[in-house]
Structure 1
Amino acid sequence: MRVLSELQRLHGQILANLDELEALTALGEPPMHRLSAVRLALTRASRARTMLLDRLYPTLIAGAGAADRAVLERLRGEAKDNLVTSVNHIGNWTVREITARWADYCTASHALRAAMRDRIAREIAVVYPLLADRAA
């Protein structure tokens, strides 16, 4: 159950950071000091979640039924694409770019936040029950 609790904690951190990014991107001007801190916290929590799931996938996949196995395989495969997308987003949206193109950054951030929320919802739907069953 400790692994499930850790994943829940990381999901909570990620979602809280996404909520804060949403609030910050609703502002008329970029609050760079706070925005940079939230982006860093989000990156750290997301990375920790990815590392935890990477360790769990082999065991979860081996013990899952066909439908769950397919979802887990898809999540595992998408993780690499998500990492590339995230790295590109962070690299493209430097402090200078965010300041110069705030409205464009807000649009790009919205799309990435939506994708992250969707992924977390899918992880919760499939991974949590499997981890709970394993702990029982």
Structure 2
Amino acid sequence: MKAQRLVILSDLGQFKAARLETTDRGTPRLETLETARLEAYPNRVVDKVADSAGRHSAPGSATGAAPLADDHNLKLETKRRLIKAIAGKMADHMQREPDLPVSFAAPADILQQVLDELPANLRARVDVTLARDLLKLPQKELLEALSRATPAS
């Protein structure tokens, strides 16, 4: 089998790295290298952020009410951390497979942000980008989507 390319699929909750190979008969085959669930914070809300009393404020609470912007800032910070985690995992795989070109698929709202987090030398190796969430596609449909994508010239 001949290794053709490194395939990275991600969204803000999952990360998947695979090696796309061609069998001796010319059939594409995906070999999964890593599948990971991404979490920027522990699952308990109290562990994420709290007011000075150690709890979230309730609407209309007179004591220790936190500003409503805290939730917005928490969402932005969580997204930023997840994007950094995706770029870090992606860079690790790209360094382990230095000779393979890279295909990267992620939802449109995070695709460019993840690419911007990569070092310039690694970013240059990403020749196929797909602004789609392909993580939940069956393997046959995933291979079709990857085969339709063409490397950037």
Tell me the TM-score normalised to structure 2 length.
0.27
Q: Greater share of helix residues, 1 or 2?
A: 1
Tell me the TM-score normalised to structure 1 length.
0.29
Q: Greater share of strand residues, 1 or 2?
A: 2
The structure with the larger Rg is 2
